[in-house]
Amino acid sequence: MNKRLRIAGASVAIAAVLAVLGLVFPNSALGKIVGTINASYVSAALRFTVPIGFAALGGIFAEKSGVTNIGLEGHLIISAFTGVAVADALAGSGSATQTTLWLGFFAAVLASTLFALLFAVVCIEFKADQIIAGLAVWLIALGLAPFASKILWGGINSPSVGTLSNWRIPLLAKIPVIGPILFDANPTVYMLLLAVPLTWFVLNETAFGRWVKASGENPMALDTVGVDVHRVRYASVLISGTLAGIGGAGLSLGQAGLFNGSGATMVDGRGWIGITAYLFGNYNPLGAFGASFLFASLDALQLRLQQVGFSVPRELIGVIPYVTVIIVLVFVGHTRTPDAAGEPYESGEE
Amino acid sequence: MSSWQDRAEQGLSRLVEASAVERVLISLAALVMSIIVGGFVILISGWVATCSDPFLAQQVLISIPGTGGWGVQFPIPGSFCYNPIQVYKYLFVGSFANPQTSTLFPPDFILDKFSLAVTLRQTSMLLFAGLAAAVAFRAGMFNIGTQGQLVLGALGSALSVLWVAPYVPGGLVGSLILIPLGLVVGALVGGAYGAIPGAMKAYADANEVITTIMLNFVATGIAFVLVSEYFKNPASQTVETRPVPGAAVLSPIVFPSQASFSILVLVGALALAVGIYLLLHRTAFGYDLRTSGIQPEAAEYGGVDAKRTMVSSMALSGAIAGIGGTVYVLMILGRWQQGVPSYGFDGITVTILAGNNPLGVPLAALLFGMLKSGSLAIDFALGVPKQLVGVLRGLIILFVAMPEFFRMIGKRVTTPEPSGAVAADGGSRIEGGEDDE
């Protein structure tokens, strides 16, 4: 834990030094890069954090309860697709209004939660291998979304349905610098900023949070005190599906306004980055958010650099989060997974 | 107490015997369940889709037998475009014959060489990918990274062949130099890339599921940047290398040349499957590998160097994936191009369905080869999107992941035998109780 903090501290220090150097020499390459960092850059980075951050929060819930959900990528895909599909269907021949987009949003979260229910039944009731079942969840989504897109729209990409518009909070939005970042943002960004402390609070300060932890660390003890381990795990996995669902809908309806099913779909590994984010954050929602924001800002930075005229290949920047995680896993050491994670629990009475 | 010991041994041997049969049964049951659930997916998607000529619409006639066509009309909501039975027929028949004119049985059965070549081409690729995953899984290493190892192996062999090609003559001599070179480089690159997560697991305790997934993305990114920045074919718009010379191409024999399938590759892949089986079951290395997979602590106690086994099994797994990449470049594509199909993930499906048994992998690979090739037929002839096969792939893994589901069904169907009735007949006990396939 200390090592992790030290690494985080060191990287912040290096970033600060680079920023100061960039400000001192505005005409150097570094200066140009630093020059691109402003309020709109930060708010873009926050928007990019939404799918990764929600996936990470969802992953924490499931894994803390003892069910490793590596199917988060699949949840993002399903909800990103459902959101657009429902909004498009409700809009009919006209264009989608904010109301239809919100209905699509809720349908997306519901779809992801139902998908999580399937995963929960398979893992908890039928004691499936969680890693294999998680892979299956991902692969089903990866096949189903483009398949359904083809049936609905004749191609693997959807038409554009528009995005949920920003919520601008009067007065507060006028505060310099942080106003445009924090108070004129997409609703999904507000949801994330609320969900992070809420998740932390639920996990650390409530009885349910203690059950979740016990269910992952020592399910037998939880059973002994009379709490149904299966129920706690079902609830946690459903919550993970709901959170990931908000992330997926945030990606398609909050940012892109369409669904793109080519390649690894528009989700493009964000669910996997979410997993790495919570590992990096050592199962702490605040840490996971920090890591998600870090990865998302790299993505945003890469877009900025291209606008300024630096041609850094997107793919090269794209590998940084993955390499970071590998380095963290190797040098910071093993992240301690909950003791009972991955193991089905059978109460003695059965 | 000797009776207690006897009972334990009996139980153990029964478990071992049962697990061999049970694995096969579970795989078959998973297939059947996936086909049934897939059928509903087809029905529902056909209900959503619009078409001019639905196979079921407005009402359905259920005829009463013996009345010569009299029956009851049932109204049904909406119209259904796709007939699941027909889709499955096209999916399977379309992989080796023309589904429009053929039935499954003679006399109208006509083999379509081109479809068959496509099926066998996919089968060979899935064989390499499946074997690669199987080796690691047997050692208890969850190698999700075969895709990355395959991508980099493919790139390595393409670049090495392109680099050496100007110095060697064409024709047979060239083939004899270039093809083995490509295979060796592919295996080395794939093996080295596979060894990385193996070493990270062995020496830093980094979870290989996470690292191998991450390394897939890293491999795709690195390969893309290397080709787009340094090795791009200047005459092409897409990110791809120059085509490899004709001498390096694994040329089609027996099958039409545009099918890009060489029967020699399939034979080689099958030989590799047998080789891996022998390696696992007839060598000391294979024994170490299997015991580390089943009982890591016991293996270490028994003198197996667990760390070395982790690294070497992952390296072997990566090397096989790398060879798969070479075959992709030298047989199918003729160059490296971005967007390598997800053979690695299909390979994971294949080995899971095969219960990680190298001898079961060819069967599972053939099944998926047929599905992949048949998917072209359903897309082309019936208008059912070929992505359906992706859904089926996921469903199969999901059902294989939950043997308990089938055990519960099994328990409901059969009445449990009284425990005394199962007598041990001694003779059928399998030596080496760690065989789990």
DSSP string for B351-398 = HHHTTT-TTTHHHHHHHHHHHHHHHHHIIIII---TTHHHHHHHHHHH
Residue A127, phi-psi category: left (phi > 0), alpha (psi -120 to 50), beta (remainder): left
Reported as a single tens digit per residue, the pLDDT across A100-116 is 999 999 999 999 999 99
Number of cross-chain residue pairs from A and B with Cβ atoms under 8 Å apart: 143
Please indicate whether residue B376 or residue B130 has the higher confidence score (pLDDT).
Answer: B130
pTM over 0.95: no
Candidates A70, A131, A151; nearest CB to B45: A151
Out of A126, A146, A319, whose CB is closest to B387? Answer: A146
Cα dihedral sign, B279-B283-B289-B293: positive
Q: Does B215 touch chain A (CB under 8 A)?
A: yes
- CB pair distance less than 8 Å for B401 and A122: yes
Beta-strand runs (E) in B154-237: none
CB-based contact, B391 to chain A, within 8 Å: yes
Tokens representing B104 are 């499954």
Segment B148-162 mean pLDDT: 96
pLDDT, tens digit, 9 for 90 and up, residues A252-277: 999 888 999 887 888 888 998 898 88
d(CA A25, nearest CA chain B) in Å: 29
Measured CA to CA, the distance from residue B110 to residue A174 in angstroms comes to: 75
**Which tokens in the block code for residue B76?**
């049904």
Nearest residue on chain A to B34, alpha-carbon basis: A140
For residue B22, is pLDDT > 90? no
Which CATH class name applies to B113-383? mainly alpha
pLDDT at A332: 65
Alpha carbons B165 and B177: distance in angstroms, whole number? 9
Does B415 score more than 60 pLDDT?
A: no
Give the pLDDT of residue A350.
43
Radius of gyration of chain B (CA): 25
Pick the residue from chain B with its C-alpha nearest to A333.
Answer: B204
DSSP B59-77: EEEEEPTTSSS-EEEEEEE
Q: Is the pLDDT of residue B12 over 50?
A: no
Angstroms from B41 CA to nearest CA on chain A:
9
Say how many CA atoms lie within 13 Å of B366 toward its Cβ: 8
Predicted-assembly ipTM surpassing the 0.90 threshold: no
CB contact under 8 A, A143 and B229: no
Nearest to B32 by CA among B331, B339, B395: B395
Which residues from B are below 8 Å from A132, CB to CB?
352, 397, 400-401
Domain boundaries, chain A: 37-332
**Residue entry with tokens 């919520």:** A167
- CATH 1.10.3470 domain extents, chain B: 113-383
- Name every chain A residue with its beta carbon within 8 A of the beta carbon of B215: 322, 326
Helix (H) or strand (E) holding B8: helix B2-48
Among B127-141, B148-162, B420-434, name the one with the lowest average pLDDT: B420-434
**What band does B430 get if pLDDT is binned at 50, 70 and 90?**
very low
Q: B221 to chain A: nearest residue by CA?
A: A315
CA distance A298 to chain B (A): 15
Strand partners, B355: none
With a CB-CB cutoff of 8 Å, which residues 311-340 of chain B face chain A? 339
Question: Measured on CA atoms in the order B189, B193, B194, B199, is the torsion positive or negative?
Answer: positive
Judged by CB atoms closer than 8 Å, whether chains meet at A143 and B394 is answered as yes
Does A151 sit within 8 Å of B385, measured CB to CB? yes
Q: How confident is the model at residue B131 (pLDDT cuts 50, 70, 90)?
A: very high
Which residues 190-209 of B are in CB contact (within 8 Å) with A?
A: 200, 204-207, 209
Determine the pLDDT at residue B296.
77
A37-332 has which CATH code?
A: 1.10.3470
Please indicate whether, in this complex, the C-beta atoms of B397 and A136 are within 8 angstroms of each other: yes
The answer, yes or no, to whether residue A309 has pLDDT greater than 50, is yes
pLDDT tier, B62 (very low <50, low <70, confident <90, very high otherwise): low
Q: What is the 3-state secondary structure (H, E, C) of chain A?
A: CHHHHHHHHHHHHHHHHHHHHHHHCCCCHHHHHHHCCCHHHHHHHHHHHHHHHHHHHHHHHHHHCCCCCCCHHHHHHHHHHHHHHHHHHHHCCCCCCHHHHHHHHHHHHHHHHHHHHHHHHHHHHCCCCHHHHHHHHHHHHHHHHHHHHHHHHCCCECCCCCCCCCEECCCHHHCCCHHHHHCEECHHHHHHHHHHHHHHHHHHHCHHHHHHHHHHHCHHHHHHCCCCHHHHHHHHHHHHHHHHHHHHHHHHHHHHCCCECCCCCCCCCHHHHHHHHHHHCCCCHHHHHHHHHHHHHHHHHHHHHHHHCCCCCHHHHHCHHHHHHHHHHHHHCCCCCCCCCCCCCCCCCC
Between A28 and A285, residue with greater pLDDT: A285
Considering only the beta carbons, identify the residue of A142, A156, A316 that sits closest to B225: A316
pLDDT of B248 strictly over 50: yes
- For residue B80, the SS3 value is strand
| DSSP summary character for residue B417 | P
CA distance B121 to B116: 8
Q: Are B402 and A128 inside 8 Å of each other by CB?
A: yes
Residue A5 has pLDDT above 60, yes or no: yes
- Answer whether A147 sits within 8 Å of B392, measured CB to CB: no
pLDDT of residue B85: 87
Q: Look at residue B15 and tell me whether its pLDDT is greater than 50.
A: no
Section B406-422 average pLDDT: 62
Separation in Å, CA A142 to CA A6, A265, A282, B126, B393: 38, 7, 28, 19, 10
Residue B372 has pLDDT above 80, yes or no: yes
Cα–Cα distance, A181 to B264 (Å, whole number): 61
Tell me the nearest-neighbour CA distance from A127 into chain B, angstroms: 6
Question: Any residues with CB less than 8 A from the CB of B26 and at least 6 apart, and which?
Answer: B355, B400, B403, B406
* Predicted local confidence at residue A106, as pLDDT: 96
What is d(CA B272, CA B249) in angstroms, rounded to the nearest whole number? 20
Mean pLDDT across B254-271: 84
| Mean pLDDT across chain A | 86
pLDDT of residue B108: 58
pLDDT at B7: 53
What pLDDT shows up at residue B433?
39
Residue A1 has pLDDT above 70, yes or no: no
| B125, two tokens | 């690729």
**Residues facing residue B85 across a β-bridge:** none
Q: How far is B319 from chain A (nearest CA, A)?
A: 21
Q: Which of A217-231, A267-281, B110-124, B183-197 has the highest average model confidence (pLDDT)?
A: B183-197
User: How far apart are the CA of B105 and the nearest CA of chain A, in angstroms?
Assistant: 31
Q: Which of A127, A129, A326 sits opposite B214 (nearest CB)?
A: A326
Q: Which of the two residues, A168 and B130, has the higher pLDDT score?
A: B130
Q: Which of A336-345, B124-133, B348-357, B394-403 has the lowest mean pLDDT?
A: A336-345
More confident residue, A169 or B215: B215
A261: nearest CA partner in chain B: B387
Residue B10, pLDDT above cutoff 60: no
Give the separation between CA A350 and CA A300, rounded to whole angstroms. 52
> Do B288 and B304 meet the contact criterion of CB atoms below 8 Å apart?
yes
The answer to whether the CB atoms of A139 and B393 lie below 8 A apart is: yes
Does pLDDT of B59 surpass 70?
no
B394 with A333: Cβ contact below 8 A: no
| Closest-CA residue of chain B to A319 | B218
The CA distance from B329 to the nearest CA of chain A, in Å, is 20
Flag if B215 and A322 touch (Cβ within 8 Å): yes
Tell me what pLDDT residue B432 has: 41
Quote the pLDDT of residue A4.
Answer: 64
Q: Which of B41, B142, B385 is closest, CB to CB, to A150?
A: B385
What is the rounded average pLDDT of the residues B14-30? 73
pLDDT in tens, A181-239: 777 788 999 999 999 999 999 999 999 999 999 999 888 889 888 889 999 999 999 99
Percent above pLDDT 90 for chain B: 40
